[in-house]
Amino acid sequence: MKVSELIERLSQFPPEMPVLVSGYEDGYNKVKDTTKVKVRKYKDEAWYFGSYEDADNGKGFEAVFLMGEKEKST
């Protein structure tokens, strides 16, 4: 994904919405997609977890997730 495409996709979301990426490990991948997710602060945050987890119970907040080329769709 190029900067122009990312800007176009991000402009579809409210400007105050947080932007998240995957946590953990090393290296870089290209961004392949953007999607809206509902998350909450991770209860038992450890150094190897991201700071947020899926908010499957309805409580939490919406954020934009930048999905890497090797990640599976949510």
Host domain of residue 16: 3-68
Whether residue 73 is contained in a domain is answered as no
Overall domain count for the chain = 1
Q: With respect to residue 40, please indicate whether it lies within any of the assigned structural domains.
A: yes
Higher pLDDT, 73 or 74: 73
Residue whose tokens read 């949510």: 74
Residue 39 three-state SS: strand
Whole-angstrom CA distances from 64 to 1, 32, 36, 46 are: 16, 13, 5, 22
pTM of the predicted structure, to 2 decimals: 0.80
pLDDT digits (tens, 9 = 90+) for 1-57: 899 999 999 999 999 999 998 876 677 788 899 999 999 998 877 777 888 988 977
Contact 65, 23 (CB under 8 A): no
